[in-house]
Structure 1
Amino acid sequence: MSSPVIVWLRRDLRLSDQAAIAAAAAKGPVIPVYVLDDETAKHRAMGGASRWWLHHSLASLDADLRQKGSRLMLRKGRCEDVLAALAEEVGADEVHALHHYEPWWRNAEKAVAGKVRLCLHDGNYLAPPGSVRTGSGAPYKIYTPFWRALEKQMPPPEPRPCLQTIAAPQTWPASDDLQDWKLLPTAPDWAGGMRNFWEPGEQGAQMRLRDFADKASRYKEERDFPSIKATSFLSPHLHFGEISPAQVWHAVGKAGGSVATFLGEVGWRDCAQNVIVQFPDYGAVPARDTFDAFPWRTGEAARADLRAWQQGRTGYPIVDAGMRQLWHTGWMHNRVRMIAASFLIKHLLIDWREGEQWFWDTLVDADYASNAVNWQWTAGSGVDSNMFVRIMAPLSQSEKFDAAVYIREWVPELADLPDGEIHDPSPVCRPESYPDRLIEHRDARERALAAWEKTKA
């Protein structure tokens, strides 16, 4: 029997359209391994919601592998040390993996390659990040021209089918027990809403894709209405690599109608990776120097406002509904994400990095690139961003996008209000259990614009 080949898994937890597994299987027995490496990620180690998802995704992948005659190995520690030790233990000559582009994973790939023969493959994006370039050969920074260039290369190659069997080594090395990693919350167990809403794993991803295929042609017309639930809900599955973007594209790309708008959103995910390849510290450093001196609010009053925002107690129903949906399910509707992010930054004048960190801990789709790019876009500090002076009005946004049903679902103390009141409850109709607004919209707008003028001065 030929030497076993190691497959190093990270955010690519699937068997179909998985280039690293296919390449390894063509060479010999395969040892799939997931390494829990919080040391390399440091302050970017996964947050609580992502760890919950990871536990269930790994359990699902192990079950899928066992149906193919294989299994999933679990090890903990620095990737380069763990993989080098495993390769020596089993006599493996190669480690195969998919490229990852977060700065800590790029560093890890260099470190691993310094100890073992590392073979990297593409497959987590429509095109390898950094490969779509301008006529002069420079990488794109702005989404619209990036998407136009990427779209010309589409569709992506047909997805690879899942292998019928995966050859196993003669003996399996020792593996950690998933339960011992303690990825699940216990004191308290706050994940009940997530368990009810999600099915992590490749089968769950395919189920979401089949459900969305029936709605994809109406995406542009319905996506901004949180009460309709017309979005794909694929973001955490894509983030953890339980489904490839090529699979998504080929499943819905010919749906007709306004599906092109959805495909552009898949392209936005590629664009975000393209940005962090150029600016690895994008999650912490504003791209525009103007924001280095921005007068963000600090002190106890600001911290109290931040806590109210995190808890969904701002007094603005659409914002509170979104923040409570996030806490309950680990996910928030995209239109509401924009409203909630704008509210934190511009109504409360709290540093966008506070919001980015909160989303990092509470989102099941907490993707470094997408999270950072979206927060810097909203703040106006990004290389491609909204202008700071464009301040979203939460009350009118709520009415415009007919969020009454959505608010009733997530802010039950307002459930009995009629549609004409629920977006902006008057003092007469506002229940005593629902908080007053942290700040009036007009006052917030004037304060934000004054802060911006001070920054420019």
Structure 2
Amino acid sequence: MAEKVNIFWFRRDLRLDDNIGFYKSLQGKYPVVPIFIFDENILNELPEDDARVNFIFDELQNMRNELQKNGSSLAVYHGTPKTIFKALISEFNIQNVITNHDYEPYAKDRDSEISKILEHKEIGFFSFKDQVIFEKNEIVKEDGDPYVVYTPYMKKWKATFREDKHLKIYDTSQVMNNLVQHSRLPNLNISDIGFKPSKIKVPKHDVTPTTIQQYEKTRNFPAQEGTSRVGPHLRFGTVSVRSMVKKAIAEKNEVFWQELIWREFFMQILWHFPETVDHAFRKKYDRVPWRKSNADFEKWKEGKTGYPLVDAGMRQLNKTGYMHNRVRMVVASFLCKHLLIDWRWGEAYFAEKLLDYELSSNVGNWQWAAGSGVDAAPYFRIFNPTTQIEKFDKNQTYIKEWIQEFETDDYPEKMVAHKQARERALETYKKAIN
């Protein structure tokens, strides 16, 4: 009879250290086979040079090399999770499959399907909380209802939080001797999964004491390197959220800490209200008669609207897979309010381009811009993309960096006048929701 093993399934937790599910699996009775699945259901939606897939691939190879130092490895597969698990069941004498919770609608359906397959074979399926401090129903109102406004959620989050309880670091290196001793587990090349190298690279994060200390002074100015770039690393779990909260507390920086809490706020909104992926949280906003102008949408995507801050942001996104957070608000407001184009179109474009794309935050922030979400900006708050330059890019440093033809005859005319666009948006929204 083949050796009894447990499987640990990496997903959004691409690190060996301080990984709760991986740590727990290594404390179990049976040796652990670590696996990762390049999921066809997800990959089939992506361009073949997607920088995020390249990033995942590189991180997996780093993890594989580390595991090989311990006489083990990482098995990397390509296919649907259902197909791969059926093959694994016939190859290994699996006792349990261990992983970390994932909260998005697709992930919940996938895990439910895999759980049933395993249950049928009398294999255990165990999942742990790892990518957040608080999840699901852990931070709710006294009556058990979810919070739909950030500030009271944040206050309850902080009141519930205990540093000694919630920031325990899980030192995986102490239990690595329980890995399966097999250094030649299956691996793949990037071309094996239908992808090719990307020109865009995910930057290293910059979560240093200086970045955190200066965070509120610099974070709103796109010409300054004042943000942490930690988004993709939290998204794919190359850093643990516990280590990030620990840093925020060490530097006594409430603003940086609260940005991490915003992430969890949007995650629990998506958990409680999965329909908000494609429906307005405030249902009456689904009555807004959006303009279905592909031509205008293309100009916005290409950064050719004639509004410099909007155009600089879109060009930065297209070139680097990143856009400064302040500018994201301006470009999103411009699409929904100035052009009256459906927030779902913008959300889908960001999903395609952003290295730090996170479904819950993306949907939450787009609905905020459209006025249709939880804790939303009222529909009559419409960013003026010109006065935003005065406030946040006074010397036009950011604009000039991304728009080569700025202040020349080649720069496009404004595609819509601010005053008329504002009035049109106010009238359209008012009619729709009243």
Using structure 2 for the length normalisation, give the TM-score: 0.91
Structure-1 residue corresponding to 2:411: 434
Structure-2 residue corresponding to 1:218: 214
* 1:77-156 equivalences in 2 (<5 Å): 77-116=79-118, 117-154=124-161, 155=163, 156=166
* 1:50-449 equivalences in 2 (<5 Å): 50-116=52-118, 117-154=124-161, 155=163, 156-163=166-173, 165-171=176-182, 173-184=185-196, 191-192=198-199, 194-195=200-201, 198-199=202-203, 204-205=204-205, 208-209=206-207, 212-256=208-252, 259-298=253-292, 302-402=293-393, 404-414=396-406, 430-449=407-426
Q: CA deviation at 1:161?
A: 2.5
CA distance in 2, matches of 1:321, 1:131: 40
CA distance in 2, matches of 1:64, 1:326: 33
Structure-1 residue corresponding to 2:26: 25
SS state of the match for residue 214, structure 2?
Answer: helix
CA distance in 2, matches of 1:38, 1:370: 24
Q: CA deviation at 1:174?
A: 3.5
Q: CA deviation at 1:75?
A: 1.4
Greater shift in the superposed pair: 119-128 or 77-86: 77-86
CA distance in 1, matches of 2:14, 2:238: 5
Greater shift in the superposed pair: 58-67 or 306-315: 58-67
Q: CA deviation at 1:66?
A: 2.9
SS state of the match for residue 405, structure 2?
Answer: helix
Aligned AA (2:168): E
Aligned AA (2:195): L
CA distance in 1, matches of 2:348, 2:177: 39
Q: Deviations over 1:175-230 (max 9, x none)?
A: 44443113335xxxxx42x23xx34xxxx45xx32xx3212122222211111121
Kept in 2, the 8 Å contact 1:55–1:183? The answer is: no
Residues 10, 159 of structure 1: CA spacing in aligned structure 2 closer, same or farther, 3 A cutoff?
A: same
Residues 92, 179 of structure 1: CA spacing in aligned structure 2 closer, same or farther, 3 A cutoff?
A: same
Q: CA deviation at 1:86?
A: 0.9
Kept in 2, the 8 Å contact 1:103–1:280? The answer is: yes
Identity %: 33
* 1:7-46 equivalences in 2 (<5 Å): 7-27=8-28, 28-39=30-41
Unaligned segments of structure 2, at least 5 residues: 119-123
Kept in 2, the 8 Å contact 1:17–1:161? The answer is: yes
Aligned AA (1:81): T
RMSD: 2.3
Q: Deviations over 1:62-97 (max 9, x none)?
A: 233334433221112222332243133121211110
CA distance in 2, matches of 1:286, 1:43: 24
CA distance in 2, matches of 1:376, 1:96: 35
Structure 1 stretches (4+) deviating beyond 6 angstroms? 40-47
Structure-2 residue corresponding to 1:427: none
